Structure 1
Amino acid sequence: MATSSDRHRIRFTVHYDGRSFHGWQVQPDQRTAQGELERVLAKLTNGPCAVIGSGRTDRGVHATGQVAAADVPLRWSPHALRRAMNALLPDDVWVADAEMAPPFFHPRYDATSRSYIYRLGLASEADSPFRAPWCWPLLRPVDLLAMERAAERIVGDHSFKAFAKAGQEERGDRCTVTEARWAPWEGIGLEFHVSANRFLHHMVRYLVGTLVDIGLGQREPEEMDRLLAGEEGLETSPPAPAEGLFLTAVTYPADAGTKPPRRRGPQLVP
């Protein structure tokens, strides 16, 4: 559905500190990132203003690249709306940029790839109050080579059913992962970089929890192949803590939103 004649669609990139949020999606009687954005936009537009994001993040998960969109009155330019929103938003949500979007742009359904980073603290500095809230302060040495060998096995088209929280069967379980690698994190530890066309519920956290157990010598790298193959009786490690996970980027084709959609989905207007 295109925007109405008195409104246009604006696209945002949103940062938020997930520690005090019950995830992205609006929930009754709970504080969420989407809820804060809709609350502020309702004030600025003098009425309900739905915000659609590129996808949900779980309770405690952060974002530096969440993409969202809303239909707002024509009097609001992207620049003016961004400034007004940031003046009213709480300190743990920030609109990094805003731009005009095509009339049919949908942050979730038009996305072709999403990227996450997970931060793993290995040095004692990771336990600092200025680091620990945004990483997993493991504070133990790991076998990076074993973790890299296991991460390589994740790339490609696989069933990630073993790495999804129960109750996701209706969504399907196949994902195409284009990147899965470990990189240094500022001398403090490691970052796990992962990109895919889609992610299942808690998928990244289950992957990281399993990779860390491999790095601690509690599992073999080859177990990743067996988990991806759905070997009966074999389970992943517990999920890594939410505080280390960041949604960092969402990718779209150049013509996203320029043509009416063939699929049905949530609309931007209430």
Structure 2
Amino acid sequence: MPSFPQVMDPRPILLVTQYDGGRFAGWQRQPVVRTVQGDMEIALERLCATAVPAIGAGRTDAGVHAHGQGVGVRVPERWTPATLRRAMNATLPDDIWVAEAHRMVPEFHPRRSAIARRYGYLIGTDEAARSPFRRRYEWSIRHPLDPAALQGEADSVLGEHTFRAFAVAHTAPVDDHHRCVIQHARWVERDGGWVFEVAANRFLHHMVRFLVGTMVEVAQGRRPRGTIARLLVAPDNSGTPAPAPAHGLSLREVTYPAELYADAS
């Protein structure tokens, strides 16, 4: 292994990262199982000859995918965003890919600086959704869904609410208010099914999956309309349906203020 200068650039690099979450135990580094953060840090150490933390904008769960995870790194000064991106993609396993790399200002933090996160959840309702080429990324549902019920429940989450009923208990700090601001929530019909698009300033553990699982129950007539609104004032998740499967969910995009991009023209 060659010896590289160990002076770290004070300007972090943002790596916009995609991954297939099917073979990972989530984003966060763990001592035994394979994780996205762990594999990225292995690649960074190989390239930089020193340990380099990879800080993600969010901790996706086991099985959850990403089209635009924000990952912040500080590397030796010899690396530019372009050369680091090329080297990372030559080193990373084939289920992780760096789509973009940007030089950021020193104040940038991949998690705290984010002003929005956007997720998408895929549901397949046609017979072909059970194909091995789709079922890895979609929740295959055989019973029809009521479009008006889906969107009606989604409309209930817009704005600022407390989402204790849509989070795994005891995963947030005890003093966390569990409040999130939902900026966008929409069901879009697509060929062979639906996609739920949702954006917010923050998300709680399993939150999108709990919301999707509940909306599907309503759209199939198993729960009454207005279930989401009633659960938004519930003190816990004891009355919430099971979360939707992880494999249908993808972190699509993380948004940062334009002034944090040092390479902006």
TM value normalised by structure 1? 0.90
Instruction: Name the structure 1 match of 2:189.
Output: 184
Instruction: Name the structure 1 match of 2:251.
Output: 247
- Stretch deviating more after TM superposition (170-179 or 194-203): 170-179
Q: How many equivalent residue pairs?
A: 254
Shift of 1:140: 2.2
Instruction: Name the structure 1 match of 2:229.
Output: 225
Shift of 1:70: 0.6
Q: Aligned to 1:134, what secondary structure does the other structure show?
A: coil
Distance in 2 of aligned mates of 1:47 and 1:38: 10
Contact 1:227–1:234 at 8 Å: present in 2 too? no
Q: Aligned to 2:74, what secondary structure does the other structure show?
A: strand
Distance in 1 of aligned mates of 2:81 and 2:252: 21
Instruction: Name the structure 2 match of 1:266.
Output: none
Distance in 1 of aligned mates of 2:107 and 2:146: 47
Distance in 2 of aligned mates of 1:183 and 1:119: 10
The correspondence of residues 1-80 of structure 1 with structure 2, limited to 5 A, is 6-7=8-9, 8-80=11-83
Which amino acid is the alignment partner of residue 219 of structure 1?
R
Q: Of 101, 106, 113, which residue of structure 2 is paired with 1:103? A: 106
Contact 2:104–2:261 at 8 Å: present in 1 too? yes
Distance in 1 of aligned mates of 2:67 and 2:132: 20
Matched, 1:118 2:112: no
Which amino acid is the alignment partner of residue 20 of structure 1?
R
Contact 2:13–2:104 at 8 Å: present in 1 too? yes
Unmatched 5+ stretches in structure 2? 1-5
Q: Aligned to 1:165, what secondary structure does the other structure show?
A: coil
Matched, 1:205 2:215: no
Distance in 2 of aligned mates of 1:117 and 1:40: 28
Q: Aligned to 1:255, what secondary structure does the other structure show?
A: helix
Shift of 1:255: 2.5
Shift of 1:231: 7.0
Distance in 1 of aligned mates of 2:225 and 2:59: 30
Distance in 1 of aligned mates of 2:8 and 2:146: 58
Q: Aligned to 1:115, what secondary structure does the other structure show?
A: strand
Shift of 1:6: 4.2
Instruction: Name the structure 2 match of 1:154.
Output: 157
TM value normalised by structure 2? 0.92
Q: Aligned to 2:39, what secondary structure does the other structure show?
A: helix
Shift of 1:228: 0.7
Contact 1:14–1:66 at 8 Å: present in 2 too? yes
CA RMSD of aligned residues (A): 1.7
Distance in 2 of aligned mates of 1:232 and 1:99: 40
Which amino acid is the alignment partner of residue 201 of structure 1?
H
Contact 2:8–2:74 at 8 Å: present in 1 too? no
Shift of 1:5: 5.7
Shift of 1:139: 2.5
Contact 2:7–2:76 at 8 Å: present in 1 too? no
Shift of 1:257: 7.7
Unmatched 5+ stretches in structure 1? 259-270
Shift of 1:179: 0.8
Matched, 1:130 2:133: yes
